[in-house]
Structure 1
Amino acid sequence: MLQLRNVETYYGGIQALKGIDVLVDKGEIVTLIGSNGAGKSTTLKSVSGLVKIQNGSIVYNETEVSNKPAHETTLLGIAHVPEGRRIFPKLSVKENLLMGAFSVKNKSVIDQRMEKVFRYFPKLKDRLEQKGGTMSGGEQQMLAIGRALMMEPNLLMLDEPSMGLAPIIVEQIFEIIKELNQEGITILLVEQNAFQALQIAHRGYVIQTGEIKLQGKGNELLNNEEVREAYLA
């Protein structure tokens, strides 16, 4: 479904990605793990078009998407839930969700999608008129994922969905990620909680200073001594 080939991305004169290769097959959960500043978020931003790549190529469903604007990659079926959630704090829950369906004109389709979101996140249904910025961190994360699901994506990219959340909420979020995948959504997951990520991932990549250092099946990386010492200790 998604292939990054020799992708290089810079921020000014600083090279953030140094020729990385990443493959995501349809129906998989693939995770990128690594320390802060390793290039994980930049990888997702390169795919969604939030940052430009200088070299290499990004192919999604056999279509070249390198440096396409973010609104175009969204219309192709790629949804990106960024680090820090980035909901619209002054808009209500309902308005935030509707922003996720900006390209849909049919009200009945929008209503169907919203009901589907409520299946995963019933709390959101109870908070429809509440301002997004007044909710807890866990609820805001649910809203951010729900907004992405309103796009009915084929590929859902999640950037640090567990960041700053209580352990019980983290468990709920990861259960929902598994459920979304079982229902047919392919997932590319960036996560500092390497243990949680590798437990649910089919495959994973370890990224260090903009380079892929290791790759393998989730359970293989979970039991890799180098990975355990660096990220699971």
Structure 2
Amino acid sequence: MNMLQMQDVHAYYGGIQALKGVSLHVADGEIVTLIGSNGAGKSTTLKSICGQVKTTGSILLDGCSIANRLPHQTALDGVAHVPEGRRIFPKLTVKENLEMGAFSVKSKKIIQERMEQSFVYFPRLKERLHQAGGTMSGGEQQMLAIARALMMQPRILLLDEPSMGLAPVIVDQIFEIIQALNRQGMTILLVEQNAYQALQIADRGYVMQTGEVTMEDDAQNLLVNDRVKEAYLAG
């Protein structure tokens, strides 16, 4: 069953059209990746789902429309977005950042329980609990951004360039965590500059160019597709 479905979605930044009839779906429990060059519309696709960009067309979560809802409403609907560049609160501690992720939860006990759950995946954050987020390494900040998104216990996790700017060993850790979350039942829509690594862990993938989906297939088929290899997997 499709958890998320976009049908003929168009999005604009002022007079510039960023998405041109994008259609895609993500089934319950899948990892689906969007690959493409810079400016292809991948990040805009995630922002459209979250209500950060005004759209036309259909965006459904579990069959219910979430198109053009306010971002905090979309979060309450069960969509968590980890944006490009992490966007943590640098002056707040790790603990305070995590609490911000659970903005609608009133019970301190539930918030604490969810923090403890996040420490299973991100034990480093427990060690840094009272440290300001902005003083941590890039990899630690990325872990914090993902953990903060999980504090709402979302239905689907949208990840935008989680490996950007990170050392290879940290990238491997982040991808291992993404896979571990998926094994526990988390549905994930992943935008990633490292197309090879993304396709290796994904179930399916979409290729985007200039605001349009130009190809869709199982991830393993895209890995061996000559057009994909030449454009995105060379080197």
Q: TM-score if structure 2 supplies the norm length?
A: 0.98
Question: 3-state DSSP class of the match of 1:176?
Answer: helix
Say yes or no: does 1:35 pair with 2:37: yes
Say yes or no: does 1:169 pair with 2:170: yes
- What are the superposed Cα offsets for residues 16-45 of structure 1, whole Å, 9 maximum, x if unpaired? 000010110000000000000000000000
Q: Residue 5 of structure 1: CA displacement?
A: 0.3
Question: 3-state DSSP class of the match of 2:113?
Answer: helix
Superposed CA RMSD in Å reads 0.5
**CA distance in 2: counterparts of 1:50 and 1:104, whole angstroms:** 22
Q: Residue 69 of structure 1: CA displacement?
A: 0.3
Matched residue count: 232
- What are the superposed Cα offsets for residues 176-199 of structure 1, whole Å, 9 maximum, x if unpaired? 001101101100000010001000
**CA distance in 2: counterparts of 1:149 and 1:138, whole angstroms:** 17
Q: How does 1:1-233 map to 2 (within 5 A)?
A: 1-53=3-55, 55-233=56-234
**CA distance in 1: counterparts of 2:30 and 2:49, whole angstroms:** 17
- What are the superposed Cα offsets for residues 184-228 of structure 1, whole Å, 9 maximum, x if unpaired? 110000001000100000000000000101110010001101000
Q: Residue 106 of structure 1: CA displacement?
A: 1.2
What code does the residue aligned with 2:147 have? G
**CA distance in 1: counterparts of 2:150 and 2:213, whole angstroms:** 29
**CA distance in 1: counterparts of 2:80 and 2:230, whole angstroms:** 33
What code does the residue aligned with 1:102 have? F
Question: 3-state DSSP class of the match of 1:44?
Answer: helix
Q: TM-score if structure 1 supplies the norm length?
A: 0.99
Question: 3-state DSSP class of the match of 1:162?
Answer: coil
Q: Residue 107 of structure 1: CA displacement?
A: 1.4
**CA distance in 1: counterparts of 2:81 and 2:72, whole angstroms:** 11
Question: 3-state DSSP class of the match of 2:87?
Answer: coil
Runs of 4+ in 1 over 2 A off after TM superposition: none
**CA distance in 2: counterparts of 1:205 and 1:68, whole angstroms:** 25
Identity of aligned residues (%): 69
What code does the residue aligned with 2:34 have? L
Q: Residue 232 of structure 1: CA displacement?
A: 0.5
**CA distance in 2: counterparts of 1:192 and 1:227, whole angstroms:** 13
